[in-house]
């Protein structure tokens, strides 16, 4: 049996990152989240999979319009394959009565305490919604397995960090069960925790903290033998570039470094953040608004973070802070035989700290 495992689409999420601060950019990105979801549905048909496993958080919150939900469920219902829909911590509103009729569609299967399992050929697909999860429930389900069949389990929650609000159980506990594949949702970064236990991740990233490649997991389970492949599917990535600035860099050098920090096709497609680090010359004025304006022509989205620090004029500082720790430190540094970059950085860090206290007095 062939399957696609996906999760965490958060289709109607409210995006908070600055890259979506205007309504148009925000709406466009939400369309993109949906388009990528629809692309996965198309792949399910093209690849003739038997099951589409959606491991929770397909929707972000109850603000989604009912007609919008209806059109999404119509698409699910039109698929050639069977759909197994787990309810995560975000789309828990699907339990409410107005949504029940949507879940009743003939090829869409949901899970409940009374009905945790569905048979599909030689495979049984089990699921425990986030709200219903308890270790005892999982234990009972595992004990009831017919191990002559292939068994897939769907869960939505954290199994790595016990401080997560939606921590379910441990990886060790999952490993001790008899499921042939465990399709997880909740963690947005795709991860195979074991060959047969995986988070598919969200297929379209939401901000710069989600920089890894995004996609879904395609798998085959036959005679209890599992094979899986991660399929990248995202439209755009969030990429962060760190540019090292030195005192020798003129503003035109920096402009050039920023403009060429990524390949042309990525510049046109992805979200880019450029972080400037290091020491800039005294006379260099980094106007991030102006530079962003300049780069915007080449980039789909770009933002600049200036984390540079200005180089110190030691002679001037010695003059102004005569007979203080500041001048003593500079003199000690100048008396060194062969100071290296690290010595200089240490001095500058100390000076910065001292000047900050000076300023606050
Ligand atoms: Mn979640």
Antiparallel, parallel or unpaired: β 271-280 and 123-128: unpaired
CATH number at residue 20: 3.60.21.10
Q: Which residue in this structure is represented by tokens 């000690």?
A: 332
- Do residue 266 and residue 143 come from a single domain? no
- Do residue 224 and residue 242 come from a single domain? no
How many angstroms is it from 352 CA to the middle of ligand 1? Answer: 43
- Do residue 335 and residue 248 come from a single domain? no
pTM of the model: 0.86
How many angstroms is it from 119 CA to the middle of ligand 1? Answer: 26
**Cβ 237 vs Cβ 271: under 8 Å:** yes
How many angstroms is it from 151 CA to the middle of ligand 1? Answer: 23
- Do residue 153 and residue 295 come from a single domain? no
Q: Which residues are CB-neighbours of 259 under 8 A, at least 6 positions away?
A: 295, 298
How many angstroms is it from 62 CA to the middle of ligand 1? Answer: 14
- How far, rounded to the nearest angstrom, does the alpha carbon of residue 236 sit from its chain's CA centroid? 12
How many angstroms is it from 52 CA to the middle of ligand 1? Answer: 18
CA dist., res. 239 & res. 350, Å (int): 33
- Do residue 135 and residue 203 come from a single domain? yes
**Cβ 89 vs Cβ 166: under 8 Å:** yes
**Cβ 233 vs Cβ 203: under 8 Å:** yes
How many angstroms is it from 359 CA to the middle of ligand 1? Answer: 47
CA dist., res. 249 & res. 358, Å (int): 29
How many angstroms is it from 130 CA to the middle of ligand 1? Answer: 9
**Cβ 255 vs Cβ 61: under 8 Å:** no
Residues in the chain, how many?
361
- Do residue 139 and residue 211 come from a single domain? yes
CA dist., res. 110 & res. 82, Å (int): 11
pLDDT at 360: 54
pLDDT at 325: 93
How many angstroms is it from 201 CA to the middle of ligand 1? Answer: 10
**Cβ 204 vs Cβ 269: under 8 Å:** no
CA distances from 250 to 39, 70, 256, 260 (A): 46, 57, 10, 16
How many angstroms is it from 131 CA to the middle of ligand 1? Answer: 11
- Do residue 338 and residue 207 come from a single domain? no
Q: Which residue in this structure is represented by tokens 């003199």?
A: 331
Domain that holds residue 327: 314-360
Q: Is 110 helix (H, G, I), strand (E, B) or coil?
A: strand
CA dist., res. 311 & res. 189, Å (int): 39
CA dist., res. 97 & res. 114, Å (int): 17
How many angstroms is it from 224 CA to the middle of ligand 1? Answer: 29
Q: Which residue in this structure is represented by tokens 């429930």?
A: 137
How many angstroms is it from 92 CA to the middle of ligand 1? Answer: 10
CA dist., res. 303 & res. 273, Å (int): 5
How many angstroms is it from 286 CA to the middle of ligand 1? Answer: 40
Residues paired with 78 in a beta bridge: none
Nearest Cα to Cα of residue 154 among 122, 134, 177, 184? 184
How many angstroms is it from 301 CA to the middle of ligand 1? Answer: 27
How many angstroms is it from 58 CA to the middle of ligand 1? Answer: 9
CA dist., res. 128 & res. 87, Å (int): 8
How many angstroms is it from 317 CA to the middle of ligand 1? Answer: 54
pLDDT at 41: 98
Signed CA dihedral, 181, 187, 192, 193: sign only:
negative
Antiparallel, parallel or unpaired: β 51-55 and 2-6: parallel
Report, as ranges of residue numbers, the positions in the chain whose pLDDT lies below 50. 361
- Do residue 265 and residue 141 come from a single domain? no
pLDDT at 335: 95
- Do residue 336 and residue 356 come from a single domain? yes
pLDDT at 265: 96
- Do residue 201 and residue 242 come from a single domain? no
How many angstroms is it from 87 CA to the middle of ligand 1? Answer: 9
Q: Is 249 helix (H, G, I), strand (E, B) or coil?
A: coil
How many angstroms is it from 222 CA to the middle of ligand 1? Answer: 30
HSE-CB of 312 using CA atoms within 13 angstroms: 23
How many angstroms is it from 149 CA to the middle of ligand 1? Answer: 29
CA dist., res. 223 & res. 3, Å (int): 15
How many angstroms is it from 47 CA to the middle of ligand 1? Answer: 27
How many angstroms is it from 114 CA to the middle of ligand 1? Answer: 23
CA distances from 290 to 180, 295, 304 (A): 56, 9, 10
- Do residue 43 and residue 190 come from a single domain? yes
- Do residue 158 and residue 19 come from a single domain? yes
How many angstroms is it from 214 CA to the middle of ligand 1? Answer: 16
Tokens standing for residue 335:
């008396």
Which of 176, 211, 232 represents a domain boundary (last residue)?
A: 232
Q: How many domains does the chain have?
A: 3
């Amino acid at each position: 049996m062939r399957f696609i495992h996906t999760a965490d689409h958060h289709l109607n999420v409210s995006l908070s990152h600055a890259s979506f601060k205007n309504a148009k950019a925000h709406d466009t990105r939400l369309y993109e989240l949906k388009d990528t979801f629809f692309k996965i549905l198309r792949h399910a048909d093209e690849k003739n999979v038997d099951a589409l496993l959606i491991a929770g958080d397909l929707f972000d919150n109850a603000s989604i319009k009912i007609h919008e939900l209806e059109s999404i469920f119509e698409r699910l219902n039109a698929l050639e394959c069977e759909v197994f829909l787990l309810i995560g911590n975000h789309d828990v509103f699907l339990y409410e009565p107005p949504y029940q009729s949507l879940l009743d569609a003939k090829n869409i299967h949901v899970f409940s305490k009374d009905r945790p399992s569905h048979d599909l050929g030689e495979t049984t697909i089990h699921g425990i919604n986030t709200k219903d999860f308890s270790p005892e429930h999982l234990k009972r389900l595992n004990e009831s397995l017919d191990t002559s069949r292939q068994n897939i389990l769907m869960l939505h929650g954290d199994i790595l960090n016990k401080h997560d609000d939606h921590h379910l159980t441990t990886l060790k506990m999952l490993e001790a069960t008899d499921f042939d594949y465990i399709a997880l949702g909740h963690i947005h970064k795709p991860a195979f925790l074991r060959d047969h236990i995986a988070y598919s991740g969200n297929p379209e990233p939401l901000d710069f903290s989600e920089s890894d490649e995004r996609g879904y997991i395609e798998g085959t389970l036959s005679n209890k033998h599992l094979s899986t492949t991660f399929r990248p599917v995202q439209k755009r990535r969030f990429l962060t570039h760190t540019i090292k600035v030195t005192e020798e860099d003129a503003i035109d050098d920096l402009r050039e470094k920023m403009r060429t920090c990524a390949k042309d096709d990525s510049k046109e497609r992805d979200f880019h953040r450029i972080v400037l680090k290091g020491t800039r010359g005294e006379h260099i004025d980094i106007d991030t608004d102006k530079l962003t304006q300049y780069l915007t022509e080449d980039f789909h989205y770009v933002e600049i973070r200036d984390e540079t620090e200005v180089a110190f004029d030691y002679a001037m500082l010695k003059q102004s802070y005569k007979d203080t720790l500041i001048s003593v430190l500079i003199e000690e540094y100048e008396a060194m035989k062969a100071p290296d970059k690290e010595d200089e950085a240490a001095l500058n860090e100390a000076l910065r700290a001292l000047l900050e206290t000076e300023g606050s007095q």
